[in-house]
Amino acid sequence: MVWQILSRLLLGGVLVVSAGAYEAVPVLICGLLVCGSAIPIAVKASRALHKAELGTSDLAASMERRLAEFEDRSFQYLNELEDRNIERVEAVEERIDYAERLLARRNEVYVAENKPFRGLPMVTPI
């Protein structure tokens, strides 16, 4: 927060000074706007510090509760992800088995006909 405030004040100051040197009113206005945008950030930072000083014990308890909730959600998400991956692996295994059966059947046809095997011709599904 401090760096945001300082960088805005510095940039705004540079714009204001350069606008005064070149008599550029739009640049002067932009510089004032950039400087003015640091005010809400400073107010927000001071409020956050004030709240942190008032409720440090409440803050620790709420952080522990939120961390426990996050852990529960992450474990639930990981379990769902594992279930989906198991289903995907099973589908891939079924496809591989099907492809192996097709290749074995085609190979049996070539062996029965005493033809040399020259690549894989188009095969219709079983």
Gap between the Cα atoms of 120 and 89, Å rounded = 26
For 14-27, the pLDDT digits (tens) are: 777 777 677 777 77
The predicted pLDDT at position 89 comes to 92
pLDDT digits (tens, 9 = 90+) for 42-78: 778 777 777 766 655 676 777 888 888 999 999 899 8
- Give yes or no for a contact between 40 and 5, defined as CB atoms under 8 angstroms apart: no
pTM summary value = 0.35
Residue 3 has pLDDT above 80, yes or no: no
Please write down the long-range contacts of 33-40, taking CB distance under 8 Å and 24 or more positions apart: 34/8, 35/8, 35/9, 36/12, 37/8, 37/12, 38/4, 38/5, 38/8, 38/9, 38/12
Least Cα distance to 18 among 34, 6, 5 occurs for 34
Place of tokens 């002067």: 28
